[in-house]
Amino acid sequence: MSAPLRIAIAGLGTVGVGVIKMIRRHAALIEARTGRTVEIVAVSARSKDKDRGVPLSGYAWEDDPVAMATREDVDVFVELMGGSDGPAKAATKAALAAGKDVVTANKAMLALHGQALGETAEAAGKVLRFEAAVAGGIPVIKALTEGLAGNEMTRVMGVMNGTCNYILTRMESAGLPYDEVFAEADALGYLEADPTLDVGGIDAGHKLSLLSSIAFGTQVDFPGVELEGIDRITIEDIRQAADMGYKIKLLGVAQLTGRGLEQRMSPCLVPDTSPLGQLDGGTNMVVLEGSDVGQIVLRGAGAGEGPTASAVMSDILDIARGTRLSTFGQPATSLTKSQPARAVTAAPYYLRMQLVDKPGALAKVAAILGEAGISIDRMRQYGHDEETAPVLIVTHKTTRADIDAALKDFEATDAVSGAPVTLRIEAV
């Protein structure tokens, strides 16, 4: 029997406590599957006295996670604190410098500093694993780095933020407006301390940038992700989409083209009969498309104690078995620097705008679309107040560049009040 794998855990929130529970509950199973035991040597968190529902007296306590990361009796440093910089980054760097392997669930840190940390880990002969950073319990990192490693990946897409999916599906099922469901999600504890990380698409954008790096062999480029949140989606948009046979999802899409790397995280319409269209509640789904395997659909819990702790444990058990992979599926120094590119693939678009309620306004909008080379598939005008009238337009296939040109021209006319809501209708 091999020597125990000794770990230290920084961060005792939901996920950290979940990891402790799994190690205690499945000790015999872990030993049977890896040929060695996994032992928790030390833990660290902001408060030592807080009751977390698990006994901690058997572990050394460290107030400073950086100091814990360099302990001589630690083999693997498990970073579950979160935050793109600060203690999480400092402790991770200290652990690698001290010759420790690192397991983290920190998508923000990796999205901004993953390239440098990956190079540091590999130069030291250590591994930096992060299955839990993307899509909770779904083993999408392992699928890309191992199961699909022989494929040239052509597209990655998915719903990667359970909170946004909960809000959108709850709006539809209950017929409630966005603000009311947002408040409900906040009361249930679903939102981050800074809600824009969720509803602004930032959290999901972090995850997409990590998947892009693995799938396409490029350096992580979170600034290159086009971000648009769900805060402008109304119950009317939800109903109109449903009437046309679509659901609205915060959808991430990444693909490498001759023009560069397309990465976008934005609300889109998807067919309600598609796997993504049938995804309800806080569940995540990632769709991977490869040259030889075709399309693979992975669905599961995207957050929560058990699912995320399960993903952390998968990395710990790989290290216990002796499985050692490059951070992003190939040596970090071999990753290419991508050129950010906007999508050029034509698609239909959904446009909702407030027309100024006066003669000729609709004709001006139609003329602007025609001048941009955009043809109208269907159009609906419904209701109005004293000053504006809402109009919904679905276009035939067009490009985002043509849509943007039309939107800019809308701004120069007195026919449209405010900025239109623009949603791509995605083929999935």
Instruction: Transcribe 69-112 into DSSP letters.
Output: HT-TT-SEEEE-S--SSHHHHHHHHHHHHTT-EEEE--HHHHHH
User: What confidence category does residue 193 fall into, taking pLDDT thresholds of 50, 70 and 90?
Assistant: confident
In a domain, 308, yes or no: no
User: What confidence category does residue 236 fall into, taking pLDDT thresholds of 50, 70 and 90?
Assistant: very high
Are 249 and 190 found together in one domain? yes
Provide the percentage of residues in the chain whose pLDDT is more than 90.
Answer: 88
Are 27 and 79 found together in one domain? yes
Q: Specify the pairing of strand 101-104 against strand 388-395.
A: unpaired
Most confident of 118-122, 186-190, 192-196: 118-122
Angle at 27 between CA 318 and CA 88, to 5 degrees: 55
The span from the CA of 155 to the CA of 241, in Å, is 25
Are 162 and 105 found together in one domain? no
Are 128 and 145 found together in one domain? no
In a domain, 73, yes or no: yes
pLDDT of residue 359: 86
In a domain, 316, yes or no: no
Are 283 and 148 found together in one domain? yes
pLDDT at 268 over 90: yes
Rounded mean pLDDT of 232-237? 94
Q: Tell me which of 335 and 281 has the higher pLDDT.
A: 335
Q: What is the CATH number of the domain that holds 405?
A: 3.30.70.260
In a domain, 193, yes or no: yes
Q: What is the CATH number of the domain that holds 53?
A: 3.40.50.720
In Å, what is the CA distance from 283 to each residue of 125, 302, 341?
36, 6, 29
pLDDT of residue 1: 59
In a domain, 253, yes or no: yes
Annotated catalytic residue within 93, 100, 107, 207: 207
Name the average pLDDT for the chain: 94
Q: Give the rounded distance of the alpha carbon of 179 from its chain centre.
A: 22
In a domain, 311, yes or no: no
In Å, what is the CA distance from 19 to each residue of 302, 323, 352, 362?
16, 20, 46, 58
The span from the CA of 372 to the CA of 358, in Å, is 23
pLDDT at 192 over 90: no
In a domain, 319, yes or no: no
pLDDT per position as a tens digit, 377-408: 999 887 676 688 889 999 999 999 999 999 99
Are 145 and 292 found together in one domain? yes
3-state secondary structure of 47: coil
pLDDT of residue 90: 98
Are 144 and 100 found together in one domain? no
Question: Tokens 């035991």 identify what position?
Answer: 37
207 catalytic? Reply is: yes
The span from the CA of 308 to the CA of 250, in Å, is 21
As for how many domains the chain has, the answer is 3
3-state SS, 25-46, equals HCHHHHHHHHCCCEEEEEEECC
pLDDT per position as a tens digit, 127-142: 999 999 999 999 999 9
The span from the CA of 89 to the CA of 345, in Å, is 38
3-state secondary structure of 183: helix
Are 261 and 181 found together in one domain? yes
pLDDT of residue 345: 85
In a domain, 207, yes or no: yes
pLDDT per position as a tens digit, 77-118: 999 999 999 999 999 999 999 999 999 999 999 999 999 999
Are 126 and 147 found together in one domain? no
Are 115 and 241 found together in one domain? no
The span from the CA of 83 to the CA of 222, in Å, is 15
Are 172 and 268 found together in one domain? yes
For the purposes of burial, counting CB atoms within 10 Å of the CB of 256, is it exposed (0-12), middle (13-18) or buried (19 or more)?
Answer: buried
Q: What is the CATH number of the domain that holds 248?
A: 3.30.360.10
Are 161 and 70 found together in one domain? no
pLDDT per position as a tens digit, 30-54: 999 999 999 999 999 999 989 999 9
Question: How is 299-344 classified by DSSP, letter by letter?
Answer: EEE-SSHHHHHHHHHHHHHHHHHT----TTSS-GGGPBPP-B----
Torsion of CA 14, 15, 17, 19, to 10 degrees: 160
Give me the domain span that covers residue 401.
Answer: 349-425
